[in-house]
Amino acid sequence: MNKFDYFFRADALQKVIEEELPPHAVEDFERVLKGEGDVGLVYRSPNELRGLVAVWLYYRFRAGDTKQSVFREVLDAAWNHDHPVVRRAVNDRRVLRLMFRDAGFPIPTGMPANTEIWRGTSGISLCKARRGISWTTKRAVACWFATRFRGARHDKPLVIRTTVATADLISPANDRNEFEAIYFDGHAAEIDGNEEDWRSVGRRWSDDKKAFSAAILSG
């Protein structure tokens, strides 16, 4: 698509967002239109709109109407708040890949040429787990994600691992200490460990997170 195509897509999506936007978010919306926006629009929009806001700003960025830095911050904020909301808004794996690529997240520094990444899931097949794009550079985090919930829906935890070129990773901000890495080509990932191991490592990570949070709160 060329700039005009992106402009018309942005314009159409803007009308949808304007109709659904709550009054307390209007000021942030207008600031974005003036090129002065930040993540305030994401935080003040209802959850179901946040993914659409990220897509809208992607179209505006590709049309030349929004700075890359604004789009990147909004995508990062919307993704960190609720991955599924962004995925539903995009509804196209190819476009989502382009969005993360074009956002210009910094390439990880201080890491070797190749990096091990893990992904923790529950209740889904190995094939489906491999298609996920949210990975982590910390195995303990993947174990925690795989085992943090109980119940029939979350039976069969799974942790998978693969080694990738560090330059191919997209690393959003580590605001939640999850060491997330976005990666779209995990088809070669293999199972790493077993359920007993994953639950043990996941519990330790959970305990460490709680101790860290308590230390911050206590000053």
pLDDT tens for residues 94-114? 999 999 999 998 877 788 999
In which order are the strands placed within the sheet that holds 114-122?
Answer: 180-182, 134-136, 114-122, 157-165, 190-191
| Amino acid letter for position 47 | N
* pLDDT level of residue 216 (50, 70, 90 thresholds): very low
pLDDT at 28 over 80: yes
Q: What is the Cα–Cα distance from 58 to 54, expressed in whole angstroms?
A: 6
pTM: 0.87
Share of the chain above pLDDT 70, in %: 92
The CB-side HSE value for 17 (13 A sphere, CA atoms) comes to: 28
- Is-contact 135 181, C-beta < 8 A? yes
Average pLDDT over residues 33-46: 86
Mapped onto helix, strand or coil, the DSSP state of residue 2 is: coil
